[in-house]
A and B are shown apart, each in its own frame.
Chain A
Amino acid sequence: QQQVKQSPQSLIVQKGGISIINCAYENTAFDYFPWYQQFPGKGPALLIAIRPDVSEKKEGRFTISFNKSAKQFSLHIMDSQPGDSATYFCAASNSGNTGKLIFGQGTTLQVKP
């Protein structure tokens, strides 16, 4: 019940295209859903996050869509750029408890010029 399942494992997108990464969770106590971007040899960087009281959040080219009834959320990267090539992790936590993050398995994104 603590798992967060992420797909796809890898994704190749042309420059200017839309990248879509999906995650699903089981634990209904989760109330905070962040996405992290990680480059090789670096720590994860917080990209965007959402809470269950909204269905969508947009920050620049990055959008999270959240479906509470399906227990699913997704990251959309619009106008994907080669600099977006990285590994993306979704995560979930019960922020009112310890706030520890349960991470998905990661998606390696390659944006071709």
Chain B
Amino acid sequence: DTGVSQDPRHKITKRGQNVTFRCDPISEHNRLYWYRQTLGQGPEFLTYFQNEAQLEKSRLLSDRFSAERPKGSFSTLEIQRTEQGDSAMYLCASSFETAGAFFGQGTRLTVV
């Protein structure tokens, strides 16, 4: 098991474009989370999946953001009509039940 994998590691996009990030959690981890981290701040919760069900979304997650976890395996986070304020590190984490959460290396998004 190589841990939580995120792709791509870096993404530069023009304002108004759509972007999609992928997260492959640790196998058999039923819980999956997306967080956003801006420079100098702690990660902020975006959304949570229990298996394939999206059970919680932060108010930070505007209508332009959508996340899926088909079949309870990998997850994708899509941002539509990107804005400069979306520039951040997007982190995925997974855990098995109430055990500790392990993070991926993140996807650094820059909107120009």
A and B held together in a complex: yes
* Chain A residues engaging chain B, CB cutoff 8 angstroms: 6, 32, 34, 36, 41-46, 49, 89, 91, 95-96, 98-106
Total of A-B residue pairs, C-beta within 8 Å: 61
Instruction: Say whether A101 contacts B101, CB under 8 Å.
Output: yes
Instruction: Say whether A106 contacts B41, CB under 8 Å.
Output: yes
Instruction: Say whether B98 contacts A99, CB under 8 Å.
Output: yes
How would residues 71 to 106 of chain B score, 1 for a CB under 8 Å from any chain A CB and 0 otherwise?
000000000000000000001010100101111111
Which residues in B have their C-beta under 8 angstroms from that of A106?
A: 40-42
Instruction: Say whether B100 contacts A34, CB under 8 Å.
Output: yes
Instruction: Say whether B95 contacts A98, CB under 8 Å.
Output: no
Partner of B100, one of A41, A43, A46, A105: A46
Give the total of B residues in contact with A, Cβ under 8 Å.
27
A-B contacts, 19 listed (Cβ < 8 Å): A43-B105, A44-B91, A45-B103, A46-B100, A46-B102, A49-B100, A96-B98, A98-B31, A98-B56, A99-B31, A99-B98, A101-B33, A101-B35, A101-B93, A103-B44, A104-B42, A105-B41, A106-B40, A106-B42
CA distance A43 to B89 in the complex (A): 9
A-B pairs, 4 with minimum CB distance = A103-B42, A95-B98, A43-B103, A100-B45
Q: Which of A6, A32, A104 has the most CB of B within 10 A?
A: A32
**B37 CB to closest chain A CB, in angstroms?**
8
Which residues in A have their C-beta under 8 angstroms from that of B55?
A: 98
Partner of A103, one of B43, B50, B56, B100: B43
| A100 and B56 contact, Cβ closer than 8 Å, known pairs A32-B98, A46-B100 | yes
